[in-house]
Chain A
Amino acid sequence: MKVSDLTELALRNLRQSLLRNSLTTVGISVGVASLVAMLALGIGLQRLASRRLKASGLFDTVVVTSRRDLRSFNREQEMSGPAPAASPALDEPARARMATLPNVIEAYPDIRFITELRYQDKPHLAMVAGLPASSRNNDAFENLQGTFFSRATAHEVILQKSFAEELLGKSSQVRDDDSSVLEISKSLLGHELEMRYSERVENFPQASRARPRATDPENLEVSYSVISHELKLRIVGVTDLDPESMRGQFRARVFVPLQLAEDLHVLQPGNIRDTTRAFSRTPQYSTVGVKVKSAQDVPTVEQAIQRMGFNTLSIVDATHSMRQFFAILDLFLGIFGSLALAVASIGIVNTLVMAILERRREIGIMKAVGASDSDVKRLFFAEAAVMGLMGGAFGVLLGWSIGRVINIGANLYLARQSFPPEQIWATPWWLVGGAIVFAIVVSFVSGLYPAARAARLDPVQALRYE
């Protein structure tokens, strides 16, 4: 029999017992919907988690330190490679070389200093850190009130919440609950802050501020002057970032644009130590942060930097074990979701076996006028497939709608808790297609027994049946 005839006859037969077949189809829909909903939740949670991990910037950053500082985080690194004194300096040329390594997005120096800031003529002491422009996308600044720095050299400042409270004269013991970042920021944004800092000025024979070239004579005297300055900075943002955060880059209470911090040539704590060593003529960085394209690239970049003669530190890629966890979670969600589909498949078997009993005589007639066993078998398969296809399609729609509704509900809840909205549910196209195909396959399998039974029917017996 042709496929078109098969489909037509199958649809006609399904219409004969419309209620029963509709109920069976609804059963499949519910099964598919539960499967889709479960898997969509699994996928959504996985995406959410990897989004958060990516936004944290924890796993795609390599922290580089110089071996000269004897501050290695890793004994092995310390033992191998050149001796500290023979190690290269972690200076601007080294940073620039790191920035050109493959898969590296940027390499930025960690510039931080403790200094005095005056707000409305009251002095406050705080750690100031330079922030690279890429931090804008870090989830640490998700709850930033106000704006990020307008330019890389803007005379602007972002305050950590507890420091902002301190400026306003509020006690920092009762943070988190009483005052929201929004309220604090209202009275501070746009105001000016005065930062006092010490500039390091190199003393060259010509008293020039230009950096020495590498070919400079060895016997040049190493010295620099420290000059005190004051700089007015405009408060543009307040963030609720935790100053005790494990992300070293954000362990400060006041942030200025990184380029500005560099240009100011602020005296770094390490500079004084460096003067005791003959080889330090140029400004050194205590730490350089290297941002890598993705967590998977971290090990190769780390190796490359180690070969350059520096110590590195990175947090072990957590995405691998996370993917493993979600694979197991998806498996379990899939199994639970499939249970409803398994029940639905029993419904298909039941419906088709009933149909055989009812249409026994009809099957006998078809065989008598020349239908082969395989014609009868395929007809029942076609009926199962039509139910599977329709059930699958409705099921996906239903599952998707359930996901939408729960997503909206969850986001309403998040909004009430003043969290940003999240996509907890994700229904990718492969899930939609896969669920429909799966429903048809399940229907086919369910149709195996009824179809074989119908095909085996003895036409003489069937025709005798009233």
Chain B
Amino acid sequence: MASTSNTSTSNTSVPLAVQIDGASKHYRMGGNLIRALDGISLEVAKGEFLALLGASGSGKSSLLNLIAGLDRPSLGQILVEGRNISAMSPKELASYRLHSVGMVFQSFNLISSMNVLENVELPMRFAEIERARRQQLARQALERVGLGERLGHRPSELSGGEQQRTALARALINRPRLLLADEPTGNLDSRTGTEIMEMIREFNQTMEMTIVMVTHERPLAERYASRMVFLADGKLVREQTSNAGDLALEERHR
């Protein structure tokens, strides 16, 4: 991918999908202040495939939750396509999650009492889309991820890969411009993981969807992401373009 121009955070010639300005997330636990995220600034260009890397507890998932609008920063702000989501009301935030972002998780997060079709339909229920239209779109999305034949199955009757594909179909159903993936292959074997990653890459390339993926597997990030950002102790430590090796290594916040 020719996205080397996006490596510089100061470059504003390409429209930004996500802009994070000094975002911090602090918790108080038993009297101690925990800095899950500490003054993160980061920009993600439209159509970019960004990987957030780091050891567990480094804050990469916390950052993803902030971008997803599931959580709010204690300090700083987050802009998605120019809209400050940190200042949104809970209702606006819910609408943002519904229409602008799709999410996939390591543990798939499907509702076990619903079948595949119903799980994919679910976001459209909140968007108040008519049943017939809803089912049609859900079928199309499921066919796209190769699950057109398994509509009536419960998540427990599916393999891990199939479950993650269902989750992908659900993430895509409201046609978001931003896909957030939290360790999407973490619970899958390498072959299935590759399948899922290929799908995500396809969405990135054919639908011009911006991808932010959290992973702790560096090879995976190198293979699929156009840029990698490393976090440690809630701080951004360095970033590099994955396909250029260590050439563009940059030390930040040290």
A interface vs B, CB < 8 Å? 1-2, 5, 9, 12-13, 16, 361-362, 364-375, 458-460, 463
Contact = CB atoms under 8 A, between A and B. Distances in A.
Nearest to B65: A460
A208 B66 CA distance: 117
Contact of B123 (A362, A364, A369): A369
Given A2-B125, A362-B113, A463-B105, 15 more contacts: A2-B128, A12-B114, A16-B113, A361-B109, A365-B110, A368-B97, A368-B109, A369-B97, A370-B98, A370-B127, A371-B94, A371-B98, A372-B94, A372-B95, A373-B90
Interface string B93-116: 011011100010100011101100
Contact of A460 (B70, B111, B126): B70
A362 B111 contact: yes
Interface string B71-84: 10000000000000
Contacts of A370: 94-95, 97-99, 123, 126-127, 174
16 contacts: A16-B113, A362-B113, A365-B110, A366-B122, A368-B70, A368-B109, A369-B126, A370-B127, A371-B94, A371-B126, A374-B91, A375-B94, A460-B65, A460-B70, A460-B71, A463-B105
A2 B124 CA distance: 11
A373 B65 contact: no
B91 A372 contact: yes
Nearest to B100: A370
A5 B109 contact: no
A361 B122 CA distance: 15
Interface string B118-135: 000011011110000000
Closest 5 CB pairs of A and B: A370-B98, A372-B94, A369-B123, A370-B97, A5-B125
B126 A375 contact: yes
Contact of B103 (A2, A5, A368): A368
Max count, chain A CB within 10 A of own CB: residue among B94, B109, B123, B170? B94
Contacts of A12: 113-114
A367 B126 CA distance: 10
Contacts of A364: 109
A459 B113 contact: no
B196 interface: no
Contacts of B122: 366, 369
A373 B88 CA distance: 14
B68 interface: yes
Nearest to B123: A369
A434 to B, nearest CB: 34
A9 B121 CA distance: 12
Contacts of A460: 65, 70-71
A64 to B, nearest CB: 75
B154 to A, nearest CB: 13
A365 B65 contact: no
Interface in B149-189: 170, 174
A373 B109 CA distance: 19
A9 B118 CA distance: 11
Contacts of B70: 367-368, 459-460, 463
Nearest to B68: A368
A40 B210 CA distance: 67
Contact of A369 (B90, B95, B98, B113): B98
A460 B65 CA distance: 7
Nearest to B61: A460
A1 B109 contact: no
A373 B94 contact: yes
A463 B68 CA distance: 13
Contacts of B111: 362, 365-366
A366 B118 CA distance: 12
Nearest to B122: A369
B14 to A, nearest CB: 28
B246 to A, nearest CB: 34
A369 B170 contact: yes
Contacts of A374: 91
A1 B134 CA distance: 13
Contacts of A375: 94, 126
